[in-house]
Amino acid sequence: MFTRSDIHKVFDKYYSALVLYANRFLPLRNECEDLVQDIFVDLLEKKPVFPDETSLRAYLYKSTRNRCYNHLKHLKVRDKYASHRIQQVEEEASFLQEVMEEEISRQLYQAVESLSGRKREIIMLSLKGLKNSDIALTLGIQLQTVKTIKSSAYRELRALFSHTDVIACFIMIK
């Protein structure tokens, strides 16, 4: 059975070596120090009996190794959980982004549908990715006419969305 004085002697003799041994398994020295200190606290609380110093030394090194393995297992589980949680958050954020994009698209197309004939035609073609010159060719009108009508349509759309945050949301998403 160990007395406090015996524990101090064992601590002084083995602490540094055990921390170095633990450091072979764990990269952070402060984790190693905490782990080895916990072993000595257990030694003090449990007060095991060892027939000789070799048994004590074996106990200390095995305890250190086992605690390192347990700590690594815990880190692995924690990292796996954190990774899983991050994936969930990313999926939730992705879902919310998709919902926002769909809602913005819906509102935009609804606003475009409210435009008069040529304005609606030109904006719809523009939304499909056509350039002004292609729109002019498709509709059989002058390039400058496309630009003028498009500019007027954008002014109307901006006025429609001036009271909402749709444009700001659209800019943030893209």
- Residue-wise pLDDT for 78-91, tens only, equals 888 878 777 777 77
CATH number at 165 reads 1.10.10
- Is 89 inside a domain boundary? no
- Average pLDDT per 10 consecutive residues for the chain, totaling 174 residues: 79 93 92 94 87 92 94 88 78 76 82 89 90 92 93 87 59 45
pLDDT score recorded for residue 172: 47
- pLDDT-above-90 percentage for the chain: 45
Sequence-separated (6 or more) residues with CB below 8 Å from residue 132 = 126, 143, 146, 147, 150
Residue 100 falls inside a structural domain: no
Q: What is the three-class DSSP state of 130?
A: coil
Calpha distance 145→139 (Å, rounded): 11
Residue 37 sits in a domain whose CATH number is: 1.10.1740
Q: Look up the domain containing 18 and give its range.
A: 4-82
**For residue 58, what pLDDT is reported?**
93
Contact 142, 136 (CB under 8 A): yes
Are 9 and 75 in the same domain?
yes
- What is the spatial distance between Cα 174 and Cα 167, in angstroms, rounded to a whole number? 11
pLDDT per position as a tens digit, 113-146: 988 889 999 989 998 899 999 999 999 999 999 9
**Structural domain total, the chain:** 2
66 shares its domain with 120: no
CA 129-130-131 angle, 5° bins: 120
Q: Are residues 11 and 62 in the same domain?
A: yes
61 and 125 part of one domain: no
Identify whether 88 is part of a domain: no
- Structure-block tokens of residue 101: 């994009």
Task: Provide the H-helix boundaries in the chain.
Answer: 4-23, 29-46, 53-113, 117-127, 132-139, 143-161, 166-173
Domain boundary among 82, 104, 134: 82
Contact 153, 119 (CB under 8 A): yes
